[in-house]
Structure 1
Amino acid sequence: MNSGTKLLRYVQLLDSALPIGGFSHSFGLEAYTHDGTVRNTAQLEQFIRSQLHSSLVRLDGLAIKGVYQAIKQQDAALLALYDKRVHAQRSPRELRESGHKMGKRLLKLARSLYPWMDFSLIDEAIQEYGAYCGITTIHGYINYQLEIGLDEAVTGHLYTSVNAYVNSALRLLPIGQTEAQMLIQKLLDVIEAEWALIRENDPEDMHSFGIAQEIYAMRHETLPARLFMS
């Protein structure tokens, strides 16, 4: 495919309107807003920065790097291993389930959008090695097939995560659309800087230390009223 078409296919994959259920999940943010820990844009920014630093970059980013390596080696077992490690390191049940559901929906959508794409390796990873096909894994797999570079694949995935948090906040906090877009713009440099810090690390180093966010995410299912599934 030519560079223009490749870019447009990639942009479509990053669209927040992609029908994979992301709008139904707050990824722990709703619990933060419920008890007043996050009440305004400044606190929302700190929350998202902490997620990028402690979890999204070091776990999801390195996982995508591992997915790229596994595909290059045509190693379905290794692909499944990285997928399982991301799944296992999501301690809250709701976060594991949401990642699994969104990944399955994205894979199903990709089969319709890209009928020419080779899905044999991910199918083998699922059928033979028990991969969960989480959203991070499937995002990386599709991006590799679209010939998107690793850096762009990782930063694109991080962008969708930031965008999801901000869109959730629009329904949970008294902030406006312009303010929300300005926050996303501000966090783009943070995404780039955080990934640059660890991009040379081995995927085996993937980890997460977002303990507070995990505790809040665990509390979400017991809230008296909820807008989101997670």
Structure 2
Amino acid sequence: MKAVAVTATIIMTTITTMGAPMAETALYDLMSWMSPAWPIGAFAHSGGLEWAVEHGHVTDRASCTDWIVLLIERGAIHNDMVLFVQAWRAAKAGDSVRLREVAEMAVATQTGFERRLEATAQGAAFRRIACASIEGFPDFLSDIDDEDLAYSVAAAALFAAQGIDLPQALTAWLHGAVSNLVSAAQRLVPLGQTDGQRVLRTMRESIFAAVTAALALPDGDPFDQLGGSTLLADLGCMAHETQYTRLFRT
């Protein structure tokens, strides 16, 4: 419940800061789709954080915060945000060709098997529950195989189709991604609930800054906007596949 409350605070702060009105029903739906109750299996993934803890790279609240911030600024989460923005714009414009191109790139750019597994397992689950419970999920994603649909693309397409403005959509998605890593760290480091909430609170400005930067991306080739320098995190995610003892799938 605390994570949901923090999500609501961040979204409402973003709405106020960026001056974009948002209906209460849209806010309610957005919080529902990004809540831990939305059954995409996020609790089963750690994005390689399990390896990072085992090898002593993440040991406390400060190192956990630093690890996640780097993923947002220069790592896998940064790239997911780029693809989220481009997918949202394509879906909003009804450009099915463009959306499929972004979907293909989102899968092709996953750095290793475990990152692809996490992205597509959650993407497929998100589409499955959305189609079963919400009217209006974009039809032009229906013929993409489960193993070829990344979570960032599936979420962006639904938010655009449901009229959720990009600033709120991206902020909520990013907060969800960060919250999942914090939840994993609470079990792995372990961090207590208080330290977990402190990490989320500390990261507000990093999240807002990342969203602002992503919103300013041009409508060009998303490949030119991708990049990263978190090699250790990517290698750690790959190495997680062969860890002897594992609590998480990734």
Same fold (TM over 0.5): yes
After superposition, where does 1:202-213 map in structure 2 within 5 Å? 202=218, 204=222, 205-209=224-228, 210-213=230-233
What SS does the corresponding residue of 1:175 show, helix, strand or coil?
A: coil
Equivalenced residue count is 225
How far did 1:131 drift? 8.4
Residue by residue over 1:15-55, the C-alpha shift from the partner in whole angstroms, topping out at 9 and shown as x without a partner, is 02321111010001000001111111110010011001013
CA RMSD of aligned residues (A): 1.9
> 1:111/1:44 Cα in 2 relative to 1: closer, same or farther (>3 Å)?
same
- Partner residue of 2:59 out of 39, 44, 49: 39
- Quick one: percent identity of the two aligned structures? 23
- TM-score (ref. length: structure 2): 0.84
Name the residue aligned to 1:142: 158
Segment of structure 1 superposing worse, 64-73 or 152-161: 64-73
2:212 is the alignment partner of 1:196: yes
Matched residues in 1 for 2:76 and 2:167: separation? 14
2:178 is the alignment partner of 1:162: yes
How far did 1:111 drift? 1.0
Matched residues in 1 for 2:84 and 2:94: separation? 15
> 1:37/1:145 Cα in 2 relative to 1: closer, same or farther (>3 Å)?
same
2:97 is the alignment partner of 1:77: yes
- Partner residue of 1:28 out of 45, 48, 52: 48
> 1:227/1:118 Cα in 2 relative to 1: closer, same or farther (>3 Å)?
closer
Please list every run of at least 4 consecutive aligned residues from structure 1 whose deviation after the TM superposition is greater than 6 angstroms.
Answer: none
2:32 is the alignment partner of 1:12: yes
Name the residue aligned to 1:113: 133
Asked if the contact 1:22–1:102 (Cα under 8 Å) also holds between the matched residues in 2, the reply is: yes
Matched residues in 2 for 1:57 and 1:101: separation? 16
Gapped regions of structure 2 (runs ≥ 5): 1-21
Residue by residue over 1:153-193, the C-alpha shift from the partner in whole angstroms, topping out at 9 and shown as x without a partner, is 11111101110100000110132101111210111221101
Asked if the contact 1:26–1:165 (Cα under 8 Å) also holds between the matched residues in 2, the reply is: yes
Residue by residue over 1:54-86, the C-alpha shift from the partner in whole angstroms, topping out at 9 and shown as x without a partner, is 135531222122112212332222111111212
Name the residue aligned to 1:178: 194
What SS does the corresponding residue of 2:148 show, helix, strand or coil?
A: coil
Matched residues in 1 for 2:182 and 2:105: separation? 27
2:105 is the alignment partner of 1:89: no
Matched residues in 1 for 2:126 and 2:46: separation? 18
- TM-score (ref. length: structure 1): 0.91
Matched residues in 2 for 1:117 and 1:194: separation? 29
Residue 193 of structure 1 aligns with an amino acid whose one-letter code is: A
Residue by residue over 1:188-217, the C-alpha shift from the partner in whole angstroms, topping out at 9 and shown as x without a partner, is 221101222342122523313132211000
Name the residue aligned to 1:224: 244
What SS does the corresponding residue of 1:221 show, helix, strand or coil?
A: helix
Asked if the contact 1:89–1:208 (Cα under 8 Å) also holds between the matched residues in 2, the reply is: no
Asked if the contact 2:107–2:149 (Cα under 8 Å) also holds between the matched residues in 1, the reply is: no
Name the residue aligned to 2:9: none
